[in-house]
Amino acid sequence: MSKLKRVVKMPVQFAKETSFAPEIRKILEHLVNDPDREGLARTPERVEKALRFLTSGYRMDLRRVVNDALFRVKYDEMVIVKDIEFFSMCEHHLLPFFGKVHVAYLPKGHVIGLSKIPRIVDVFARRLQIQERMTQEIAQTIKTMIDPAGVGVICEARHFCMMMRGVEKQHSGAVTSAMLGEFRSRKSTRDEFLALTGHSPG
């Protein structure tokens, strides 16, 4: 298998295709005393549709997402894609967390089409997640796909489970990072990435 074809293999998980709208309706019965009112009548179906979309990353095939947009290059300077918006769902509360992801890597013979990086982010954001794992998964995927000299991913997010429930509001903004290869071993590389994304090198 050529290096270009050596794209990360992800288990494509297919959830049960039967409707779970009746279960959403049961949840509504626990929450309100008039689950039959007009405004709630079609809510179970809408919630099901929304949840299926918000977890559609489980059913995406990374190879198709990237669609062979891996290119051979001589370029070996840092590639950086900043401010990639994402929306995800915290797996502890099924509430949204959202923010920005910054991705950088040092090519070692191959690059990924720039427009594919936000799509890789979506594959992992549209799952039940914790921010730390999502950050690692994005970095590991790029490492596996193009075997660069290093990968750095920074994720800045705000969590509804903290903001809405009135707990730990001061920590509602969280920053996570994954530094692989030269982003881990070379301080100057890491510092360049941090500076380019508005973070002070630590």
Our CB check for Zn ion shows the closer of 97 and 105 to be 97
Calpha distance 51→127 (Å, rounded): 10
- Considering the candidates 102, 110, 129, 131, report the single residue annotated as catalytic: 131
The reply on whether position 133 binds Zn ion by CB under 5 A is no
The reply on whether position 128 binds Zn ion by CB under 5 A is no
Calpha distance 83→106 (Å, rounded): 18
Our CB check for Zn ion shows the closer of 82 and 93 to be 93
Catalytic (active site) residue 110: no
Q: Write each residue from 161 to 190 as x if it is in contact with Zn ion (CB under 5 A), else as -, in one continuous string.
A: x-----------------------------
β-partners of residue 98 are: 87, 158
CB of 134 to Zn ion, least distance (A): 13
Would you mind telling me the total number of residues written for the chain in this entry? Answer: 202
- Considering the candidates 29, 45, 92, 171, report the single residue annotated as catalytic: 92
Which long-range contacts (C-beta less than 8 Å, at least 24 apart) are formed by 42-51? 45/19, 45/21, 47/21, 48/19, 48/20, 48/21, 48/24
Question: By CB under 5 A, what part of segment 87-116 binds Zn ion?
Answer: 90, 92-93
Q: How far apart are the first and last CA of the chain?
A: 41
Tokens read off for 43: 């809510």
Catalytic (active site) residue 48: no
- Only segment of 77-85, 133-141, 146-154, 159-167 that touches Zn ion (CB under 5 A): 159-167
Q: How far is CA 143 from the centre of its chain?
A: 15
Catalytic (active site) residue 91: yes
Residue 162: how many other CB atoms lie within 10 Å: 20
CB of 181 to Zn ion, least distance (A): 31
**Among all residues, which ones are annotated catalytic?**
90-93, 131, 159, 161
| Site for Zn ion, rule CB under 5 A | 90, 92-93, 161
